[in-house]
Amino acid sequence: MLRLAVLLFWIALADSVNPATLGPAMYLATVKSPVRRVAEFTLGFFLVNFFVGVLIVAGPGDLIVTLASRPGPVARHVVELVAGVVLIGVAIALFLGRTRLAAIGDERGTELRSGHAWALGATICVAELPTAFPYFASLAAIIGSGLDLVRQIILVGFFNVVFVAPLLGVIAVVAFGGPGAEQFLRRCGDWLRRNWPVVFASVALLAGLALFGFGLGWLLAR
Range(s) of the domain holding residue 190: 2-221
Predicted local confidence at residue 167, as pLDDT: 92
Res. 193 pLDDT band, cuts 50 70 90: low
With bands split at pLDDT 50, 70 and 90, how would you rate the model's confidence at 208?
confident
Number of residues assigned to the chain: 222
Q: What is the amino acid identity at position 108?
A: R
Q: Is the pLDDT of residue 123 over 80?
A: no
CA distances from 3 to 80, 150, 155, 210, 211 (A): 12, 17, 11, 11, 10
Given pLDDT bands bounded at 50, 70 and 90, which one contains residue 162?
very high
Question: What average pLDDT does the structure give for the chain?
Answer: 76
Q: How far apart are CA 53 and CA 127, in angstroms?
A: 15
- pLDDT tens-digit series, residues 60-88: 655 554 544 445 566 666 766 777 787 78
The DSSP letter of residue 70 is S
The dihedral of CA 173, 113, 132, 187: what is its sign?
negative
Query: Quick one: pLDDT band at residue 109, thresholds 50, 70, 90?
Result: very low
> What pLDDT sits at residue 33?
76
- pLDDT tens-place string over residues 2-30: 778 888 888 888 888 777 787 778 777 77
Provide the number of structural domains found in the chain.
1
Nearest of 211, 221, 218 to residue 3 by alpha carbon: 211
pLDDT band at residue 163 using 50, 70 and 90 as cut-offs: very high
